[in-house]
């Protein structure tokens, strides 16, 4: 994929219409291209706003009016082209009408398909924005809870981590700083420690060294948490020794 190809991916990226390889290549490109990063962010915001836009159905009679006029209105000839005689004009009009009708119907079908596709992408972007907003609110609720307790720990390669637990919220938040990226094709997976049984609590973003993650699910009776390195997409059970394992604050 050339640099020119990457510059043209902003719209498709904003609508989540790229493959995993294209997404990875484009995000790597955006790290050094401020213009593409800004354009992709603006297009994503626009797609989300389009998903919230109101629409009004066309009047039932409009379709019949358009189709009727297509068969009666002849296209003007280009400047300098002589008009045909009366007999040829009628035949040309009929032929042109058929071509115009076919072209308009084809355009309407294409535009309709494009509109449906764009609407679906906008709805997806809106849903992702809504879920992200809910996650931020839940993280804030845990961090601001009066009974919030924090436990910090040193991780490998100079990274640090802290877990904040709130009994009243029954949720936990993990905050990581300066974490090294996982091996290629791998991801950091978080776990609740339920008396020695590990319960998945979600995945970390492999492309970010600093992040705040709301652990998936309720704390319940979990006594601690751990982090393992798992294949991309995560695992139902840990497949590697934990790189970090600590108790929740009392």
pLDDT on residue 35: 81
Q: Does one domain contain both 18 and 109?
A: yes
Q: Does one domain contain both 123 and 243?
A: no
User: Would you call 225 exposed, middle or buried from its count of C-beta atoms within 10 A (0-12, 13-18, 19+)?
Assistant: buried
Burial 69-102 (b: 16+ CB within 10 A, else e): ebeeeeeeeeeeeeeeeeeeeeebbeebbeebee
Reading the chain (250 residues) residue by residue, the pLDDT tens digits are 677 777 788 878 877 777 888 888 888 888 888 888 877 776 765 665 555 444 556 666 766 776 666 666 554 544 444 444 555 444 444 444 444 545 554 555 454 555 555 556 666 666 777 777 788 888 888 888 899 988 887 787 778 888 899 999 999 999 888 889 999 999 999 999 998 899 999 999 988 888 889 999 999 989 999 999 999 999 999 999 999 888 998 7
pLDDT on residue 46: 60
Q: Does one domain contain both 124 and 164?
A: no
- Is 26 inside any structural domain? yes
Q: Does one domain contain both 160 and 44?
A: no
Domain assignment of residue 127, given as a range: 1-53+64-72+88-144
Q: Does one domain contain both 36 and 108?
A: yes
Backbone angles phi, psi at 186, to 5 degrees: -120, 170
- Is 34 inside any structural domain? yes
Q: Does one domain contain both 211 and 240?
A: yes
pLDDT on residue 201: 96
Q: Does one domain contain both 137 and 234?
A: no
Q: Does one domain contain both 182 and 222?
A: yes
Q: How many residues does the chain have?
A: 250
Q: Does one domain contain both 161 and 232?
A: yes
- For the chain, the C-alpha Rg in angstroms (whole number) is 28
Q: Total domain count for the chain?
A: 2
Distance CA(90)–CA(107), nearest Å, equals 25
In which residue are the tokens 């996650």 written? 135
Sequence-separated (6 or more) residues with CB below 8 Å from residue 7: 33, 36
In which residue are the tokens 């974490």 written? 179
- Is 138 inside any structural domain? yes
Distance CA(183)–CA(162), nearest Å, equals 22
- Is 95 inside any structural domain? yes
Q: 169 vs 101, 130, 139, 159, 218, CA distance in Å?
A: 62, 20, 10, 27, 9
């Amino acid at each position: 994929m050339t640099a020119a190809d990457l510059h043209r991916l902003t719209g498709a990226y904003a609508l989540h219409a790229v493959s995993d390889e294209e997404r990875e290549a484009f995000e790597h490109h955006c790290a050094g291209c401020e213009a593409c990063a800004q354009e992709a962010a603006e297009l994503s915001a626009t797609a989300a706003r389009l998903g919230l836009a109101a629409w009004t159905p066309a009047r039932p009679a409009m379709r019949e009016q358009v189709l009727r006029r297509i068969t009666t209105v002849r296209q003007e000839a280009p400047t300098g082209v002589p008009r045909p005689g009366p007999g040829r004009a009628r035949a040309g009009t009929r032929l042109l009408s058929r071509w115009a009708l076919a072209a308009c119907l084809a355009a309407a079908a294409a535009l309709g398909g494009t509109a449906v596709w764009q609407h679906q992408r906008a709805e997806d972007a809106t849903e992702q924005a809504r879920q992200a907003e809910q996650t931020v609110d839940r993280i804030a609720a845990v961090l601001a809870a009066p009974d919030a307790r924090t436990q910090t720990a040193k991780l490998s390669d100079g990274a640090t981590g802290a877990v904040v637990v709130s009994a009243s919220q029954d949720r936990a938040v993990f905050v990581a700083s300066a974490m090294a990226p996982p091996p290629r094709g791998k991801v950091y997976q978080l776990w609740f420690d339920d008396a020695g049984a590990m319960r998945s609590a979600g995945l970390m973003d492999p492309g970010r060294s600093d992040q705040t993650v709301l652990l998936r699910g309720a704390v319940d009776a979990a006594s601690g948490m751990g982090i393992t390195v798992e294949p991309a997409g995560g695992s139902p059970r840990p497949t590697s020794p934990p790189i970090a394992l600590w108790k929740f604050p009392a």
